[in-house]
Structure 1
């Protein structure tokens, strides 16, 4: 054991731990969710990269010694190369705007740097506040680390979305000649091809890729240098430029300062925008999953337009039942992201010079990203890629639909078409049969113009109608 002191007193710390007294107090205060800060992808790495870059910057402007910067950099590199979750044990739910997290990283690096220089833990040569936190505040470090983390996480989501779009695009091609009945208000509508329907899904996810890319680019703007409230007080001349230069060297990414540091610390609406894009993407996913459940309903007493891959038995009591479990999983992802979005919106309210709810924002944003990133490949591999169109059922429904009376409304008028539809419904006949029997169209012309596939292509219909 070793003893560490702060303004409130002292604590005994197990000597195996690189963290110190402020981390220990936070462990005592915030044991609530079981979700620790190391569980947020890239978060600890981002904090370590910030601290290493700040040390390099402070060395370049002559504020820390050569031996200090080398020890701090070595310590940071060790934890980056060999993650040690046990050194970052804090719960993601914490008060103080992330001060506990910032000090956790400061203490870990300071103790390890001193160990490198002196052979023992402590703060004799490198102090967590004086040296590791030099020219920084929790208030610029935490939101900067959040943006750096989410930049990486959004990149993974963008890749997953792009791959998902590719799989949907393959289905558009595969289903290009399969004619089915469209549905509006869950009632029969005009025919379209299954490929056309899937092109709508594909286009929506293409739009999501662009939206994710757009918010991701804004993660490159960081508040580092703002310090406590945006005035940059506590920094030294040349620090800010030196920091961003060092961060670029350490990450290979061109991070830049926020245009207005006061805005960056006061307002968290960027995360509302980011969450909205995630919610929008999840909403599109929910629409696709819900549609697939309807289209695959049956197999004998439902729509049965498609057959989803069977991935597991569907009932403990009904033999042969197969459930659409993958779409149902995706729908639950949507529900969770909706909940996260509400939490993010409330947490972004903040007050005066700082938003202190960033830990919750980060937890919710990262979870929404992770759920989508994990869900999309599963959805494509276990559902989309191998779903089968029931061509005959689609053709039968399209050919028997009363919505084909729209052809008669186009050629003659709505009143005549309504009468044709009413008669077909009353007599249990097809629109084709009524049109031919009533002499409205010849058999040849009716066969051409009432062919469902013709209605999926207005150019072809207009050519035949001449």
Structure 2
């Protein structure tokens, strides 16, 4: 054991650990969930990278000794290579605006740097506050690390979304000539191809790729050098420019200072924008998943337009039942993302000169990202790629829909079309049959004008209808 002290007194720390007294106190105070700061992918690495950039900046301006800087940088490199969960055990739910987390990293780096210089842990050569935290405050380090972390998360989400869009494009092409009945208000509507329907899904996710890329850029503006409340008090001359140079060198990314540090520390509306895009992505996934459940319903007493891959038995009592379990999983992801968005919105409210709820924001944003990153590939490989269209059922529904009376309305008038639709409903016939029987169209004309596939193509129906209108005139 070794003894460490802080403003509250002394505590014994197990010698094997590099974290110190403030980490121990926070571990005892805030252990309420199973999620730690080390579980947030990239968070510890982001904080450590900031510490290295700060050490380099302070050394370059003469505020930090070369040997201390080198020891801190070596300690950071070791953490970046392997962030040990035992060294960063703090619960993501914590008070103090992230101060326990900032000090956890400061203590680990200081103890290791001291060990490098003196052969033992302790703060005689490198102190967590004096040296590792030089020119910094929790209040600028944590929001900066949040942005760096989420920048990485959004990048991974963007890649997954791009692949998901490509997979939808393949099904769009495959289903391009499969005509089916469109549905509005859950009622029969005009014909559409299954490919056209999938083009809507594909386009939505392509749009999400672009929107994720746009909000991701917002994470490149950091509040580093703001220190506690935005005044930059506690930094040395030249620090601000040097830390951003160092950070760019270390990451290869164009990080820059926010235009107004007071705004950067006080206001968190940026996270509402980011969460909104993530929620919109999940919403589109939910819509797709819900539609697939409806279109595959049955199979004998539902729409049965498509068949989803069977990935597991669906009932403990009904043999042969198969459930749309992958879409149902995806829909639950949306519910969770939506809940996270509510928590983010409340946490962004803040007060006065600092938002202290930032770790909750980070937890919710990253959880939503990771859920989608995990869900979308499974949705693709275990569902989308294996969808089979029921060609005959799709075409039969389209041909028998009373919505085909719209053709009669275009060729003649609405009243005539309405009369034919009523007749077809009463006699349990389709529009083609009553149009021929009533003498409105010949059998050949009915085949041409009431072809559902033709109705899904603007080029085809415009050419055909213009010819017919001329003959009627």
Q: 1-side partners of 2:386 and 2:322: how far apart?
A: 15
- 1:349-368 equivalences under 5 Å are 349-368=349-368
- Using the TM superposition, give the Cα deviation of residue 196 of structure 1 relative to its aligned residue in structure 2, in angstroms: 0.3
Deviations 1:155-194 (A, max 9, x none): 0000000000000000110000000000001000000000
Q: 1-side partners of 2:22 and 2:178: how far apart?
A: 65
- 1:91-102 equivalences under 5 Å are 91-102=91-102
Q: 2-side partners of 1:463 and 1:127: how far apart?
A: 81
- Using the TM superposition, give the Cα deviation of residue 66 of structure 1 relative to its aligned residue in structure 2, in angstroms: 0.9
Q: What's the Cα RMSD here?
A: 0.6
- 1:216-227 equivalences under 5 Å are 216-227=216-227
Match of 2:346 in 1: 346
Match of 2:318 in 1: 318
Q: Which runs of 4+ in 1 moved over 3 A?
A: none
Deviations 1:354-407 (A, max 9, x none): 000001000000000000000000000000011101101000000000000000
Q: Tell me, which stretches of 5 or more residues in structure 1 are unaligned?
A: none
The answer to whether the aligner puts 1:407 opposite 2:407 as a matched pair is yes
Q: 2-side partners of 1:405 and 1:213: how far apart?
A: 45
Q: 2-side partners of 1:198 and 1:136: how far apart?
A: 51
Q: Secondary structure at the match of 2:3?
A: strand
Q: 2-side partners of 1:428 and 1:145: how far apart?
A: 67
TM-score normalised according to structure 2 size = 0.98
Q: Secondary structure at the match of 2:189?
A: strand
Match of 1:435 in 2: 435
Q: Secondary structure at the match of 1:254?
A: coil
Deviations 1:211-261 (A, max 9, x none): 100010111111101001111111111101110111111111111111111
Aligned residues between the structures:
466
The answer to whether the aligner puts 1:77 opposite 2:77 as a matched pair is yes
Match of 2:110 in 1: 110
- Using the TM superposition, give the Cα deviation of residue 445 of structure 1 relative to its aligned residue in structure 2, in angstroms: 1.1
Q: 2-side partners of 1:135 and 1:77: how far apart?
A: 20
Deviations 1:266-285 (A, max 9, x none): 00000000000011000000
TM-score normalised according to structure 1 size = 0.99
- Using the TM superposition, give the Cα deviation of residue 444 of structure 1 relative to its aligned residue in structure 2, in angstroms: 1.3
The answer to whether the aligner puts 1:151 opposite 2:154 as a matched pair is no
- Using the TM superposition, give the Cα deviation of residue 459 of structure 1 relative to its aligned residue in structure 2, in angstroms: 2.3
Match of 1:47 in 2: 47
Match of 1:119 in 2: 119
**C-alpha contact 2:38 2:83 (8 A) present in aligned 1:** no
Q: 1-side partners of 2:187 and 2:82: how far apart?
A: 59
Match of 1:163 in 2: 163
Q: 2-side partners of 1:411 and 1:212: how far apart?
A: 46
Deviations 1:123-178 (A, max 9, x none): 00100000000000000000000000000011000000000000000011000000
**C-alpha contact 2:350 2:356 (8 A) present in aligned 1:** yes
- Using the TM superposition, give the Cα deviation of residue 79 of structure 1 relative to its aligned residue in structure 2, in angstroms: 1.0
Match of 1:452 in 2: 452
Q: Is 455-464 or 251-260 further displaced after alignment?
A: 455-464
Q: 1-side partners of 2:18 and 2:252: how far apart?
A: 28
